[in-house]
Amino acid sequence: MTSRSCVVHSDPDILGGTPVFMGTRVPMKILLDYLEAGDSLDDFLDHFPSVSREQAIAVLELAKDQRLRYCTNSLLSFSDRLYN
């Protein structure tokens, strides 16, 4: 499995610093756009063969972790306001 810490890269000289899959010029946002539009992971990988399945899954895991952290922090903040 690909380490999640080396799956995404951001460099001002590559697409103006847009986060891309490591070793490619494929923005990670495109994967999320594909899935949001109802396309499958396989569709994305067929269109972007420079991205491995392991990289794509690692990015999805990162996105999930960030979303969970955001939700948890929002709930804690709401709880603090509610009870303080």
3-class secondary structure for the chain? CCCHHHCEECCCCCHHHCCEECCCCCEHHHHHHHHHCCCCHHHHHHHCCCCCHHHHHHHHHHHHHHHHHHHHHHHHHHHHHHHC
- Note the pLDDT of residue 1: 45
- Note the pLDDT of residue 62: 87
Residue 9 forms beta bridges with which residues?
20
Kindly report the pTM of this predicted structure.
0.72
Sorted by where each starts, the structural domains of the chain and their CATH numbers stand as 4-83 (1.10.10.10)
pLDDT tens string, the chain, 84 residues long: the values are 444 457 998 999 999 999 999 999 999 999 999 999 999 999 999 999 999 999 999 999 988 887 666 566 555 565 566 666
